[in-house]
Amino acid sequence: MKPAPFELSQPGTLDDARGLLAAGDADCRIIAGGQSLGPMLNLRLARPDRLVALSALPGLTECRETESHVEIGAAVTHARIEDGDCPEPIPGMLRHVAAGIAYRAVRNRGTIGGSLCHADPAADWVTAMTALGATLLISGEAGTRREVPMRDFMQGAYRTALKPGEILTTVRIPRYSAGARWGYYKICRKVGEFADAISAFVADPETRVCRVVFGSTGGAPLERPALARQLAETGAAAPLDEIKKDLLAAQSDLSPVKLQQMAIAHQRSVQEALSHD
């Protein structure tokens, strides 16, 4: 389990990094924490000619806070978020999600941007950021910048809206009011394992925002507006059979076991959130 030969470039600036990616003479991959790409390299499932390492780039490892938003650099590690070294758009949610990602050793190196760009359906941030209504800031050719809402970013298993040569630089998350509630429940075979089912919600009565999102669906996270409406209106999750019916309407190939786990995850995400009150 040793990777095929590759060249490693460690650019000092974002411009240099884009330059390397744009050179076009080689199959180039971005590497940040390497917690997903590393194993794929070792298994020789990924065989890039060149790796461009971003985790040391200035700007990508910073967090900022404005009145309306929290911005997290793409190369900020899960561990930093877990440790509270990053502002929260809604108290406790980012820390909770970060602390549940894999194991501390993985969290020490793995980054939020790397996880989003890898777009593993069973990963945590793709679901959490959909629920939070995050926007991704992307740096493209010749310094152009564009913004992509998280719900449009992940397009399927391991597929994103990133174009060749583009780099995710920042995750921008709107701040929520003091009365906002969140829930995040995942079902895994064991602590630190990839999830079998994830359900997250963010509800802010002040701004009348409520999102219910399901992860580990085999593709992009699934947003279910009807379930969100029910939650916003009643303050409780729908009954199990209604949740299942709604999920089947969105994705008909869910097995009975998967469906059960997703529905239970939604119910418990709500129960846990309310029990905090």
- In the window 54-93, what residues touch other proteins (CB under 8 A)? none
196 is a contact residue toward other proteins (CB under 8 A): yes
Contact status: 194 vs other proteins (CB under 8 A): yes
> Which CB sits closer to other proteins, 39 or 59?
39
**Does residue 38 belong to the site contacting other proteins (CB under 8 A)?**
no
With both helix axes pointing from N to C terminus, report the angle between 240-250 and 225-234 in degrees, rounded to the nearest 10: 150
User: Are 159 and 75 spatial neighbours (Cβ–Cβ below 8 Å)?
Assistant: no
SS3 135: strand
Q: Which of 8, 24, 67, 190 binds other proteins (CB under 8 A)?
A: 190
221 scored as a contact of other proteins (CB under 8 A):
no
CA–CA distance, 217 with 262 (Å, rounded to integer) = 9
- Based on the shown chain and the rule CB under 8 A, indicate whether residue 256 belongs to the binding site for other proteins: yes
Candidate list 12, 13, 44, 92; residue touching other proteins; CB under 8 A = 44
Q: Considering only the stretches 164-172, 186-194, 204-212, 218-226, report the one whose residues sit in contact with other proteins under the rule CB under 8 A.
A: 186-194
Find the binding residues for other proteins in span 84-143 (CB under 8 A).
none
Query: Is the backbone of residue 184 left (phi > 0), alpha (psi -120 to 50) or beta?
Result: beta
Question: At residue 159, what are phi and psi to the nearest 5 degrees?
Answer: -125, 135
Q: Is 191 exposed, middle or buried (0-12, 13-18, 19+ CB in 10 A)?
A: exposed
Sheet holding 145-149, edge to edge: 63-65, 69-73, 167-174, 135-139, 145-149
Single residue of 67, 189, 208, 253 touching other proteins by CB under 8 A: 189
Instruction: Report yes or no: 264 and 187 within 8 Å, Cβ to Cβ.
Output: yes
264 in contact with other proteins (CB under 8 A):
yes
The helix-helix angle for 240-250 and 256-275 (nearest 10°) equals 120
List 261, 266, 270, 273, residue binding other proteins (CB under 8 A): 261
Asked if residue 8 binds other proteins (CB under 8 A), the reply is: no
- CB 189 → other proteins: shortest distance, Å? 5
Q: Identify the residue among 39, 92, 179, 218 touching other proteins (CB under 8 A).
A: 39
Contact residues: other proteins, CB under 8 A: 1-5, 39, 43-44, 187, 189-194, 196, 256-257, 260-261, 264, 267-268
